[in-house]
Structure formats: structure tokens, C-alpha cells
A and B are shown apart, each in its own frame.
Chain A
Amino acid sequence: MIETPKFKGTHLFARLGWAKENLEPFQSDIRVVYEDGLDEPSKILVPDPNWMACALQGGILPPVESYWELKKDEEQPDFKKHTRGYLLHDTEPVGPMTEEEAIEYLIKKDIPSHIWKTWNDGNKPKMVICRTHQLPSTREWRNAWKINEDIELAA
């Protein structure tokens, strides 16, 4: 396995360039289905194979908390431009993750926090992690897809 250079302080974009050149993309078949509104269809989060390769390799991606900090800045009413981009580039990168840990990171990065923080509150789960073969393959009824209320949740 190729060794990751010491990337702390290197712009994240440059790290991704190294990864694209040196790592084999990893096509995960894990999907995250979540509901973000009663009248909206379920949404499905799909990991990027190049991003997955970075996550499995380790030493490339910043801690997910860096994204949360930037999001806080962006939510300020007078936000115009990020001034703390260094949080992505100068923070110690996270180590290698398993496929499951990488999906957990993505959930915390790319799914609204009000969903993953309260995914199992209420009458039925708002978010489910599954495999592609468990999703309907037809798009015919796409806008009617909902998470099955009887779904068996992993402990």
C-alpha cells in the first residue's frame, strides 16, 4: 500500500490531486437513505469513489469538525466569504477509516445535522444505512419512496 505523504498544512485541493493520481477509486455499495420533510421523497446519499479511496487511505481528509466550523461561519447573516479555510488545510488529517467509518463521516458531513442527530426519534427512523440491492431499482414510483416503517434496525 502506498504511503500517504505528511499532508498537514498542504491545501486540501492539492491532497485530492495526489489521491486522484495515486489511489484506486473505491466504489462502495453502501447508501444512506434519509427523509427531510413529510412531503418530500426520500433522499439517497451516494459516496464518491475517489473520496472513499481518500477515507480508506487516511492522512488526506480533515476532521469532520472542520466542516462544521465552516458551516457555522456560513450561517452568519453577514457571511460573504470564508476566512477560516485553514481549518481544512492546516488541521491534522484523520487517519485511515473502515468503509463503515467513512460512511459515518459522510453522514456527519453531508446530511443535515437535524436528521442524523435525531434519526431514530419520533414514530419511525428518518435515516437508514443500506446496500444498493436493497433500494428499488425502478424509478417509476421514485417520488413515493419512503423508509419502511417496519424496517429492522441494526443494534
Chain B
Amino acid sequence: MSTLAINTLTGQTSASSITVRGEGSANTNLQQGLAKAWCNFQGTSTISIHDGFNSASLTDVGTGQYKVNYTSAMSSDKYGYAFCANAQTDVGMDDNATTYCNLFVRQGWDNTTIDIAEPCCIIHGDLA
């Protein structure tokens, strides 16, 4: 087994694109596969951020509504996200921009917004 110890990986054909050999004949792109932000926070009572990356702040917008503000902006507002909460809840993003996303949590059976203890969101896409 060998160990690769380097500080920076740069694509040869295009500096910002590195291809990783995937399963079978598939190839995947390294940069596109990396999360660009994540945030794990206390979503009940007086909210606070446990840990994360590329989040500058979190706003308690209302019950079951949270706004994550990024430090390094996304290039456009067309990017992907994953938002995790408890079982029996519907979660989603109802508004976003290059520097923030607005997340919500609703009870699955009556659509009422509710706070949850430890939600986590992950952002994928292109950085500005």
C-alpha cells in the first residue's frame, strides 16, 4: 500500500476538474462530488450551531424554519442540497440564493412546522 501525501490536487487538462475512475466504465468528477457546505445545529429552544463548514451564521426564522448563511458563496442559486431531520417529518428548502438557503421542517401528518433537535444540511454545487 502506498500513501499519497500532497497539499493540492490540480487537473492537468483543466485545473478545476479531476476525473476519478468510478465503477465499471463510469467516471466521476472529484470537484462535483464534494460537499460545499454543511451545518449541524441545535434546532430547538435557543438555537446554536454544533459544527459545520462554510456556514457563517444560522437564522432562526420561525418555528421549524431555519436559514443557513454561507461564507464562500455559491456561483448561482441552482444547486443541490440534502436536509436531514427526524422520522415522520417533511423537510425541504423553500427559498435560496447564492449566499443562503431557507430550510423548513413540517410534521408529516398535518403539515405544521415544528422544531427538531438536531437537523443537518449539506450543500452541493459550484462555488463562486
A interface residues (Cβ-Cβ under 8 A, vs B)? 11-13, 16, 20, 25, 27, 31, 40-41, 43-51, 54, 61, 67, 70-71, 74, 80-82, 84-85, 88, 106, 109-110, 132, 135, 137-139, 142-143
Contact = CB atoms under 8 A, between A and B. Distances in A.
Interface of B: 36, 39, 41, 44-49, 51-63, 67, 69, 71-73, 75-77, 97-100, 115, 127-128
Contact of B71 (A16, A45, A74, A84): A16
Contacts of B72: 11-13, 16, 88
B59 A70 contact: no
Given A85-B73, A88-B72, A49 B46 contact: no
Given A71-B99, A137-B46, A139-B45, A51 B75 contact: no
A142 B61 CA distance: 10
A81 B76 contact: yes
Given A61-B71, A67-B99, A16 B46 contact: no
Contacts of B60: 43-44, 46
Contact of B73 (A48, A88, A137, A142): A88
A48 B45 contact: no
Contact of B63 (A51, A71, A80, A143): A143
Contacts of B58: 45-46, 48
Contact of B55 (A27, A51, A109, A132): A51
A82 B73 CA distance: 9
B57 A88 contact: no
B73 A70 contact: yes
Given A43-B59, A47-B57, A85 B45 contact: no
Contact of B128 (A82, A109, A142): A82
A13 B55 CA distance: 11
16 contacts: A43-B59, A51-B55, A51-B71, A54-B71, A70-B73, A74-B77, A74-B98, A82-B76, A82-B128, A85-B73, A88-B72, A88-B128, A110-B57, A135-B46, A137-B45, A139-B115
B53 A16 contact: yes
Contacts of A13: 36, 54, 72, 127
Contact of B75 (A25, A85, A138): A85
A80 B76 contact: yes
B114 to A, nearest CB: 9
A106 B56 contact: yes
Contacts of B76: 80-82
A-B residue pairs, 5 tightest by C-beta: A85-B128, A82-B128, A44-B60, A12-B72, A110-B69
